Structure 1
Amino acid sequence: MDMETTYFFVGIKGTGMSALALILNDKGCKVVGSDIEKYTFTQRGLEQAGIKILPFDENNITPGMTIVAGNAFGDDQVEIAKAKEMGLKVLTYPQVVEMLIEETTSIGVAGAHGKTSTTGLLAHVLSGVSPTSYLVGDGTGKGIPDARFFVFEADEYRRHFAGYHPDYTIMTNIDFDHPDYFTGIEDVCDAFQELADHTKKALFVWGEDEHLRQLKAKVPVYYYGTAANDDIRAENIKRTTNGSSFDVYLKDEFLGNFTIPLFGKHNVLNSLAVIAVSHMEKIEAKAVASELMTFKGVKRRFSEKKIADMVIIDDYAHHPSEIAATIDAARQQYPAKKIIAVFQPHTFSRTVALMDDFAKSLDLADKVYLTEIFSSIREHDGKISAADLGKKITKGGAVLQLDNMSPLLDYHDDVVIFMGAGDIPKYEQAYEELLSNLSLKNN
């Protein structure tokens, strides 16, 4: 990294971009950026770091800057066009991440689901034992000038991870997501194969994923999971309302007993991947176990609060597999309570492609409500609506409106999970206000 140049981030509020901006700022680089003026949850961290956020304007670009272009922006964006006209260096987000990868022992975390939670967990554990820089998909980033490790989330969308060459790669699963880009599951597998080919030291992959089992690699591949043929196994799993504990074996070698304050089978698997990488880097099992116990989670992944007599959980889940995992986690933590799911479908293309799977996963809840589909800037309006999904759901499926969240007031001493990748937090906030006002009146 050049400490003399100013790095200008186009689209700095994006989750990956904001995290990357924080890393460069921490490393001593000069950082500034631009974005829309609408508030996003990522901007607080940028503001706290003293990073200036400007509205899009070609006059923001000055001589000597290096431009970092967000993945959503092309050469026709006004600032990028001005930078090119001025002959300035324009780097993509993946190109800057690759620069960080080359400086350290790097661990990339890829997968259709679970990569943010796993990246956050790995960053937390390694930070506790050695200087670690990290880039997490919830907008969290930290740069350490002389870091031993760099932990980063590797996103498969539009093959953004194709230019990465990490020392280690964790792959949590392969699934058909992003139907607006990938042609099918074979296309997704091809993208993951490319990342496997670029990995320098070892791969850690979930052993129960049939697609991951078919990947070829020039480096050792370690399968993690709960099956007898997995290299790194969790056995004697105990799931309680306080979290999960399990024994870990590498082949026949006992690595130790580990406890996590997290819920759901998927978090046991994520922890296994973290334990495996740590073991390969000769970090003591006791130190790993100690760090696992203090993990608080990542933003918008099973974030919970209590208002009146209700538990409210906020989760980024926007794919059938993620919905099932989130409901499973809620059942573990709150086995005696009714689980109400409020789901915002994200993009028309995903809703059409996976409609039956969405209905099946949502029906794992006791009652289901939907919001209208959150449409993406990447696609045009579809010919379907949330009501079409609602018809396939047996546990409800009514569509809620932002100005009338009162149907949720029928539930008491229960759990409501708000799930989605769009603006679902608006609906959660509207419900919380209703609930708070009702609680005040009753008291």
Structure 2
Amino acid sequence: MNIEDFKNIYFVGIGGIGMSAIARYFKAIGKNVYGYDKTQTLLTSELEKEGISIIFSDEVDQIPEIYLNKTETLVVYTPAIPSNHEQLSFFKNENYHLMKRAQVLGFLSDPLNGIGIAGTHGKTTVSSLTAHIFKNSTQDCNAFLGGIARNYNTNLLLSKTSPWVVLEADEFDRSFLQLHPQVAVVTSMDADHLDIYGEKEELEKTFQNYVRQIKKGGHLVYKKGLPLKPEGINLHSYSLEEEEADFYAKNLKLIKGLYQFDLVHPNGCIEGLNLSYPGRINVENAIAASAVALICGINQEELRLALNNFMGVRRRFDYRIKSDKLVFIDDYAHHPKELWESISSVKAIYPDKKITGIFQPHLFTRTRDFADGFAESLDLLDELILLDIYPARELPIEGVDSSLILSKMKKKGRICSKDELIEQIKQGEIEVLLTLGAGDIDKLVEPIAQILNQRIK
């Protein structure tokens, strides 16, 4: 089956960040593209402006007639869609050609030189920065990203000439096992998605299986200390400041909220690199992306330019307001380690400011499994407003709610509903504000920004 032979592509869950990149790809090559999603978001609105029609009802009679032609229609779905979804059940019962998002990504990327970037944290920033470096070089690239790269205002990058494709390799539902990259990156293997894996050991085993799928003679770039030793490929370790790694930073300096560093690599040192994207963790992400670039033949000056003009990723340490009076940063962090890195980075940049965080926990299982870790990370804040858990695909678990996190914290916080939040922001004394989480907290970002901008004026 050649998926590019289908005339019509129907997406069940088109508003997902990974799904939307593939939808944009099929639209770009001239296919009829249509999709369903549960709710309207900024991303679905952007897709509609690009000419992709979307419905927000799962009733079968909402499916347009041309997509009822089974021989000409491919149905792409995300594992986040429940199995009893009305449209998905219809497509399955009628024996349509169905493919998971990850399978489609594997089909599209296998003929090219894939750069698959995996990890429980950091993969979106590393993949976006890697793609940006390639775009700023003579090599160029295609890319399917898990976030909206601000330099391009999209999660899909296309090239008519480049053999390279940068892929966000997602461990959720073992999706990345559909990929066979030429170059792979693993940023982290912390316990996560235990609703899928059960135990951390099973998660680690799946990462081992992923790196075994690197094409023979290919390359693995991995965070120093991760237990990954596949055979038949070239291994390259990286670290923020650990000299035993193959790639690491030295002379790290924080200058006006941004980092400058020297990049040590196996063939020497590139001095005075300036990263235009804030956050200490993003220096580490930049080292990973730079390692890939140098391995693939990108020269030092191309690398220097790209690091200096990278604008970041929407919802990844995303400055919404940056003034002397007030700062507002939006971040996707939804795991204890990510929260720790994000809050620590903000405290390093603004050591004398009061840091207020609004956190929306994501998933009942994740809250249950990591309540202690969430409490420890959120204790770094000076003030915490905690929203109710965003359930996503899950049903409630008895005894698991946001108060479970509060009960384990040393500092005090308060629980607030989404409906009450805007009024609390109006009344609060804010110096530096962080919105944190992977649920629908993003819908509150713009209203919060409007209130804070009015306060500045």
**What TM-score, normalized to structure 1?**
0.91
* 1:415 is the counterpart of 2:432: yes
Aligned match of 2:415 in 399, 414, 426?
399
Q: CA deviation at 1:434?
A: 4.9
SS in 2 for 1:103: coil
Aligned alpha-carbon RMSD (Å): 2.4
* 1:2 is the counterpart of 2:4: yes
Q: CA deviation at 1:347?
A: 1.4
* 1:96 is the counterpart of 2:98: no
Structure 1 residues 387 and 78: CA distance shift in structure 2, 3 A: closer
Deviation track 1:312-332 (CA, whole Å, cap 9, x = no partner) reads: 111111111111111122123
* 1:134 is the counterpart of 2:139: no
**What TM-score, normalized to structure 2?**
0.88
* 1:230 is the counterpart of 2:232: no
Contact 2:357 2:381 in 1 (8 A): yes
Structure 1 residues 312 and 47: CA distance shift in structure 2, 3 A: same
Aligned to 2:234: 220
Aligned match of 2:113 in 105, 123, 133?
105
Deviation track 1:35-86 (CA, whole Å, cap 9, x = no partner) reads: 23x2112213312321111343434332211111222236654444444455
Structure 1 residues 398 and 328: CA distance shift in structure 2, 3 A: same
More deviation, 239-248/321-330: 239-248
Gaps of 5+ in 2: 149-154
Structure 1 residues 122 and 45: CA distance shift in structure 2, 3 A: farther
Structure 1 residues 193 and 258: CA distance shift in structure 2, 3 A: same
Deviation track 1:130-152 (CA, whole Å, cap 9, x = no partner) reads: 33211111261233344321111
| One-letter code aligned to 1:5 | K
SS in 2 for 1:396: coil
SS in 2 for 1:293: helix
Gaps of 5+ in 1: none
Structure 1 residues 164 and 384: CA distance shift in structure 2, 3 A: same
Aligned to 1:62: 68
More deviation, 66-75/77-86: 77-86
SS in 2 for 1:305: strand
Matches within 5 A, 1:5-404: 5-36=7-38, 38-54=39-55, 55-58=57-60, 59-60=63-64, 61-63=67-69, 64-73=72-81, 77-129=85-137, 130-138=139-147, 140-200=155-215, 201-207=218-224, 210=225, 212-225=226-239, 226-251=241-266, 253-306=268-321, 309-404=325-420
Q: CA deviation at 1:298?
A: 0.8
- CA–CA separation in structure 1 for the residues paired with 2:284 and 2:260: 12
> Share of identical aligned residues, percent?
29
Structure 1 residues 145 and 47: CA distance shift in structure 2, 3 A: farther
How many residues are treated as equivalent by the alignment? 436
Q: CA deviation at 1:388?
A: 2.6
Q: CA deviation at 1:232?
A: 1.1
Contact 2:8 2:73 in 1 (8 A): yes
SS in 1 for 2:413: strand
- CA–CA separation in structure 2 for the residues paired with 1:367 and 1:263: 22
| One-letter code aligned to 2:54 | I
| One-letter code aligned to 1:382 | E
More deviation, 43-52/15-24: 43-52
Contact 1:108 1:169 in 2 (8 A): yes
- CA–CA separation in structure 2 for the residues paired with 1:220 and 1:124: 24
